[in-house]
Structure 1
Amino acid sequence: MPFCTTDPNLRNDWLTVGSATQLRGTDPAHPVTTRLLGNDLLLWLDDGGAPHCSADGRAMPIRPCYGYLWVQTGDAPAPELFDLPEYAQPGRRIVDCGGIGVATSGLRVVENFLDIGHFPYVHTGTLGKVPHTEVAPYRAHVDPATGEIWATDCHFFQPRASASAADGIDAQYQYRVMQPFTAALYKSCPNRDGERDVICLFVQPLDEEHVIAHVLLVYFEDVLSDADMIAFQHLIFGQDKPILESHRPRRLPLSGPLEAHMRCDLTAATYRRWLRQRDVRFGVHAPTAA
């Protein structure tokens, strides 16, 4: 089966197909199967422990990085993967929170990840709380050197910013979009002054309207177990999932005005404009002609 898009933004980039741990015990005769861009993939390890990927009998470039497997489905030279120096920083906990299936465009999942304004209403008592609903001024821009989106100087009152938080704090945030389906959140670290915990969102687009959202934590955390940290992330994502799946159309509209009408829309507007400038077509709603 051919891949369901020719969009070079997807075909020529690295896309995740999940945690590298899924290949334990595999070999060419006993691969695991997954799906990417509408096509089935076979994944396995060779005798030397190197990962391999094939689609329709054709070998695909694959590489392990940050505990995940990344595949390129196009024919162009593979680009460098984004840099995440915190992953190798001594003292940090690396926690794979697993993948959650969502029936919507991966672009909507990333846009929701970037949305500060929904915290008090969707994540009441954890990431936000009424009446603390105001989004303070912040900045969003595209880094000319890397082409990545950065939203900086974000802060928001959170009753429980993390699984280990006991009291509410004015959480400091930075958002980063490295690729159309890859983003990261850098937030206040309650245990280390001057450091930030990192939450990475790696979206695996199964097709244009179905994804697996993989969440990676890169934290300074000395108290909680992995299970506690994973459970908190699943709580948060479980609150987002029904809202994401209720959106119609499922694909993200990019036509029409993209300017931010409210302060909390600034990052989302920057993301949509960035997608349109890159001519991203996969997962995008194409309006029918009148």
Structure 2
Amino acid sequence: MNKNIRFLVCLMILLCVCITGCGPQTEAGITTYTRYVESHDGVRVGVPEHPKRILALSSAFDTILLGLIEPERLVGINKLSTYEEYSLEAKRAKLVKPVMSSYPLEKIIALKPDLVIAPDYISADVISGLRHMGIATVVVSSGSTVEGVIKNVTEVAHIIGEDEMGNFYNQKIRKELDEMKRLGESISPEQRKTVLFASSMDGYTGTGSLFDDMCTYMNVYNAPNRIGLPPRIPFGEERVLAMNPDYIFIPSYKGMDKNLADRYLKNPAFQNLPAIKENRVKPLPAAYLYTMNQHIGEAMLAIMYTVYPQLERNSHD
């Protein structure tokens, strides 16, 4: 073998070593293709092209994922996601094991996920620990507006390589927003109702909340915002009397949350409120309180029809 041939052979071997030595590998030593996505914490993260062992560190992201992929691609699920009154994807969530109520670092690592999607409130130590173990971990901002929720759905879809489904939900929600806008044209400012959505987390649905933003699309006034309450302020008796809402919504967990319902229905201070006297304290699925997912348009339309029943009759005109 002359020198030129030996040189070419060595060069080809070297190139093969370089190629197979770069990027993540399977157990068989075959390189898997990796995409890069931008994480909310400013890190560019390499993620598998088609992740098969996904874990979300949030029930909100569980629900989004269950609308995008089959349950068998998830290696764990938040306990709340399995409650039908809490998640509109609960039936599919029940197909996932194990069920988790917390996310200690060692437990996450033991599940051997190939991709972790984390909300922006998860500890930076957990994020860095997962990345140190070689687990692709992408942080996604929590959606606090309707547009933020749409962005989250499409972003999670992009992270897991399901952009087509992300676009589908984007279009679906926007059609529902268009329908709300069309229906809302028949509601004058004088006819617009004031609503109070109660929550066991006092102030959760107040000024600046996701529900507050949803109200602008539903053509209703959010009671705490309308009287100028700052964000996250509890709804005490005097404040509720000042709000004087047309409707009081109580989250339903297989029936109205009894403690919350009693706080309004059995409180002597509220007995003269028109909403109480005229039976306008209504149950709504608790999932509507936590609709930071692809079902947000459905939830808003359902609430709008509850407040303005005449609109449902006209919804297909």
What is the TM-score with the length of structure 1 in the denominator? 0.28
Higher strand residue share: 1
Greater relative contact order (CA < 8 Å, ≥ 6 in sequence)? 1
What is the TM-score with the length of structure 2 in the denominator? 0.27
